[in-house]
Amino acid sequence: MKDILTAPFMVEMIRTTTNMYNHGWDERNGGNISLLLDETEVKEYLDTDHVIRSIPTGFSAPELDGRYFLVTGTGKYFKNVQYAPDVNLGLVRLCDGGETAQLLWGYTDGGKFTSEFPAHMMSHVARLKVDSANRVVMHCHPANLLAMTYVHTLDEREFTRTLWQMCTECIVVFPDGVNVLPWMLCGTNEIGEATAEKMLTARLVVWSLHGIYGAGKDLDETFGLIETAEKAAEIYMKIAHLPRVNTITDDMMHQLEERFGVKGREGYLD
Ligand code: 2HA
Ligand code: ZN
């Protein structure tokens, strides 16, 4: 059996949580990540018959029965993942229709998965319906996106259009735009269901006055997605209070669509 700390998925998870912390997106215990793994890759590192303990999830997700996830722990700091991955991360397999998570590795201090586990698992179900290559759900608290939800309308079309106008490449990176949830109590099945519903039409879901969710095929791509939206929000927060002299017009965005072979969300461009 190979050392799980050398597994590419583990190395990438450690690098990503560290990088996110260094970006200031994950203060204290802020943020969480879940990464869907293939059973064959897990079996290279773990005896999958050896269940350390079983943890009730509090929701059902029959679509994910038997699936493996590497997940950040509740109350744990992204800052510390690199120093003690086995305490701050856990590898679980869902069973009983998603109602139980079998711990196969990690959470060695007796901990468990993130409080946002419902939002993560329900979002995986939603994204897998529209993109079978989806593997990652990522949540964090980037300052400018968060700030923007205090001063910008939460209308999804308007929010998306503003972000697209802030950097030329935005419409290319997230042509499906950004969906927006109003403030809701975090850590609940309700916000999980609402997030998953929004994930059916976009890979980015803003939680107003809280943070953002991103989804993608790997950690690098999902990080880059949030990074791009956050950069756009940063530009917005720099210019929102100033007279706008120039902007990226809808005509320019149509040129980008053609050049890069993408299609902006239906009805979002004039
Ligand atoms: O657990 O970000 O939304 C930390 C969070 C909860
Ligand atoms: Zn959060």
26 C-alpha to center of ligand 2: Å?
Answer: 8
Look at the block and give the residue holding tokens 């100033």.
242
Cα–Cα distance, 206 to 195 (Å, whole number): 9
Which pLDDT score is estimated for 45?
98
Which pLDDT score is estimated for 153?
98
Which pLDDT score is estimated for 23?
98
* Residues annotated as part of the active site: 116
> H-type helices in 200-248, by residue range?
219-239
pTM recorded for the entire structure: 0.98
Task: Write out the two tokens for 68.
Answer: 């493996």
Cβ of 188 closer than 6 Å to ligand 1, yes or no, is no
Which pLDDT score is estimated for 267?
98
> Which atom of ligand 1 is nearest the CA belonging to 207?
3
What are the tens digits of pLDDT across the range 104-113? 999 999 999 9
Cα–Cα distance, 23 to 17 (Å, whole number): 10
8 A C-beta contact, residue 57 and residue 114: no
Which residues hold their Cβ within 5 A of ligand 2, which is an ion? 211
**Inter-CA distances, 223 with 16, 214, 217, 226, 239, Å:** 8, 8, 11, 5, 25
Regions of the chain with pLDDT less than 70: none
Among 100, 104, 95, 43, residue whose Cα is nearest residue 70? 104
Which pLDDT score is estimated for 147?
98
